[in-house]
Amino acid sequence: MKYAILSDVHGNLEALKVVLAKCMEVQVDEYISLGDIVGYNANPKECLDRMRSLKLVGAVKGNHDEYAASNDNTMEGFNPHARTAVIWTKSQLPPEDRAWLASLPMRLTIKGTLITAVHATLDSPDTWGYIFDVHHAADNFAYQFTPLCFIGHSHVPVAFCKKPIALYSERMITEIEEWVDKNPSPGAFLKADSVSIDLEPGFKYLLNVGSVGQPRNKDPRASFAIYDSDVKVVTRYRLPYDIRTAQEKIIASGLPERLASRLERGT
């Protein structure tokens, strides 16, 4: 069974189209959404419709989803551009779409699988914390009861594994360096590529799949992952997409210009 794990689409239809085309190419069976389908970009309704049309076996709520579904326009802690985008997004979504977003759980163990999904962190999913290092990962592993946990929220791909007790050492939890290309070549962003992890029996894995619609790791390509449960491999894909059109839509919608400019920088 192949599961596509998508996070932080953020209303970027151009990026989502490319990702779903790749999913069809590699014959994905089912889909998991890690939240923040809406926010920031100019096609929240279209992205929500596409995501809901997929064979979704699990979907969790992101912070932008939560605010877009609520009547709260203060959004304490949000930066002004994010707040403006959420208020605009609310105007684009009918009540039934907002109700669907509101109904999503904060965290979820996917029925019939060994997968847990959460947008932010398992220990306190509703406070929207971030996991960037081994110390943050340790807190999450304490609440992780499945071999695999997929997360989003930071828009920065990062991966950790926890060794089984039988292999106890001073470094029980380590970062999986190969999950991220930290020194890409200047032309790398113009082409698609991927990186795979072979899952070891008895290990636990915490994997941030990056962002489909607004990457922040200085790589502007759409990022997502596919888990093949038959061969126990997780692959993260990085795909170029039509950034210019996504930017033009943001400007035409009257959204903040910075939301357009940051797409090409991947920040």
What does the pLDDT look like over 105-122, one tens digit per residue?
A: 999 999 999 999 999 999
Least confident interval from 41-45, 68-72, 223-227: 68-72
pLDDT tier, 256 (very low <50, low <70, confident <90, very high otherwise) = very high
Dmax over CA atoms of the chain, in Å, equals 58
Compute the C-alpha angle 211/78/59, nearest 5°.
40
pLDDT of the residue at 72? 82
pLDDT tier, 201 (very low <50, low <70, confident <90, very high otherwise) = very high
pLDDT of the residue at 188? 83
pLDDT tier, 168 (very low <50, low <70, confident <90, very high otherwise) = low
pLDDT of the residue at 108? 98
pLDDT tier, 187 (very low <50, low <70, confident <90, very high otherwise) = confident
For 80-89, what is the mean pLDDT? 95
Number of separate domains in the chain: 1
Average pLDDT, the chain: 95
Least confident interval from 12-21, 57-66, 174-183, 258-267: 174-183
159: which 2 tokens? 């991966």
Q: How many helices (H) and strands (E) does the chain have?
A: 8, 12
Q: Are 120 and 127 in contact (CB under 8 A)?
A: yes
pLDDT above 70 coverage of the chain, percent: 97
Domain extent for 200: 2-265
Residue of 49 and 185 predicted with greater confidence: 49
The predicted model scores a pTM of 0.96
Q: Decide if pLDDT at 76 tops 70.
A: yes
Which helix (H) or strand (E) segment is 160 a member of?
strand 158-162
pLDDT of the residue at 167? 60
pLDDT of the residue at 132? 94
Q: Decide if pLDDT at 171 tops 80.
A: no
CATH number at residue 172: 3.60.21.10
Task: In whole angstroms, give the CA distance from residue 116 to residue 166.
Answer: 23
